[in-house]
Structure 1
Amino acid sequence: MSIAEATSAADGGSRSEFRRGVASCAPVLLGTIPYALVLGAQATQKGLSTVELSLLTGLNFAGGSEFAAIQLWTSPPHILLIVAITFLVNSRHLLMGAALAPFLRDLPRRRVFPALFFMCDESWALCLADAKRRAADGVTPAFSPRYYMGAALAMYLTWVAFTTTGALLGPVLGDAGTYGFDMAFAAVFLVLLRGMWKSIAAARPWLVSLVIAALTYLFAPGAWYVAAGALSGLLAAWLTAGDA
């Protein structure tokens, strides 16, 4: 095989992996669109402009913390509170990154760190499951960067586009919750949890976080349930790390 043929084959393989990432992410994207619209509509109802909302979703790119920030938004906003809640909600990325680390150790950091900016719950779950399947099948490298970028960029562009669309349609949609769109947020995460299910022991941090957040929501005013759920889940994951 000539150099030109080898280069062409490699390019074709890269494009194929990228398309595979986009295709695997497509069902999740359909569930993402409704709650992206909800976030955009809620943001405009809180007084954010379309540009401000687009910057929020494009630079932060973490749906859970964005919903928390919008719920806490006032005029003027309590910046320190929002920053603290955002940090707590996004701290799960520490565990997500640690789970991916064994598959990324052979990749140069100049490629890994920019790529991780686009990591979200959905793309992380899909790529971790794909890497584990490839490793079990003896495929090397187990982690496919092109597959990851296909899934991650599809999620990123869809999220920013439809949160912006939701902001533009906010006055028309009114209370988007009346359409049931907000249920899509929970539904997508239930599907991801089902796809990653290993055992009851491995799911205990999820259950602890759910119970503590629900109890805090019922008995404590404000948005303390967000912090309570995040911290209790992280603590439970740390305490049970050797049991799963």
Structure 2
Amino acid sequence: MSVSEITLGHPPAEARGAEFRRGAAASTPVLLGIVPYALVLGAQAAQKGLSVVEVPLMTGLNFAGGSEFAAIQLWTSPPHVLLIAAITLLVNSRHFLMGAALAPFLRHLPKRKALPALFLMCDESWALGLADAKRRAAGGLRPAFSLAYYAGTALPFYLAWVIFTTCGAALGPVLGDVERYGFAMAFPAVFLVLLRGMWKGFAAARPWLVSLAVAAATYLVVPGAWYVAAGALSGLVSAWLLAGEK
């Protein structure tokens, strides 16, 4: 699927271009934040034995930073494929909820446009795209979801993630332990900014808090990266249970 097909929509080309640039401008501050931890992931993958070719294949086909960090932490030689696949499924399962939240705004799109848009969905592009769609809906604009704007946010994230994880893999052996430069702080910093923008009050944040508490407790008592799966699963279960209360 080409870039032009992803950004194709009802507005004229000039309007689509303006919307794409608007999305790219909105994504730039967050984009600068993901570059450091893309380098960290690439360097860690190289230290685990992945080649400069294998790293962009992983990050380009999976395109989900949290599960990739978890997979690299679990990576051995030979790798425990079933365990890594299970952890990846659990960590990425949040995309079911993200996609469900976005789905009402995508109903006007044919599958040939909606499916590539969903493939490019990450936490950052989802948050920006959903917030923009809600603003447009509140302002009476139809369709509320601007595919060109979303492409302007999502494509830079995708390209930057693949490019800079590859750079991290190439430079990792030269730089050594890249975490000593403080790059790892970019990962929680970006998510704190996104969470702040999505804050709807304490009641809506209860699944986050459950996930945090369970992940922290598991990290303290269970060796390995099981805290990632525990946090993801407990967050999903608590969100489902709390949704049943309403």
The aligned counterpart of 1:161 is 163
What's the secondary structure of 2:53's corresponding residue? helix
Write out aligned runs for 1:123-162 (5 A). 123-162=125-164
The residue identity in structure 2 corresponding to 1:218 is L
Query: 1:240 Cα deviation (Å)?
Result: 1.4
Looking at structure 1, the residues matched to 229 and 244 of structure 2 have their Cα atoms a distance apart, in angstroms, of: 24
TM-score, normalization: structure 1? 0.95
Looking at structure 2, the residues matched to 219 and 11 of structure 1 have their Cα atoms a distance apart, in angstroms, of: 56
- 1:169-190 CA distance string (max 9 Å, x none): 1012211111111111011000
Mapped contact 1:201–1:243 kept (Cα < 8 A): no
Aligned residues: percent identity? Answer: 75
The aligned counterpart of 1:107 is 109
The aligned counterpart of 2:7 is none
The residue identity in structure 2 corresponding to 1:51 is V
Looking at structure 2, the residues matched to 243 and 95 of structure 1 have their Cα atoms a distance apart, in angstroms, of: 17
TM-score, normalization: structure 2? 0.94
Query: 1:222 Cα deviation (Å)?
Result: 1.1
The aligned counterpart of 2:13 is 11
- 1:10-39 CA distance string (max 9 Å, x none): 110000001111110000011000000000
The residue identity in structure 2 corresponding to 1:184 is A
The residue identity in structure 1 corresponding to 2:56 is S
Write out aligned runs for 1:1-244 (5 A). 10-241=12-243
Change (3 A) 1:243 1:14: farther
Looking at structure 2, the residues matched to 160 and 110 of structure 1 have their Cα atoms a distance apart, in angstroms, of: 23
Mapped contact 1:104–1:112 kept (Cα < 8 A): yes
The residue identity in structure 2 corresponding to 1:90 is N
Q: How many residues align?
A: 236
> Unaligned stretches of 5+ in structure 1?
1-8
> Unaligned stretches of 5+ in structure 2?
1-10
Looking at structure 2, the residues matched to 88 and 25 of structure 1 have their Cα atoms a distance apart, in angstroms, of: 27
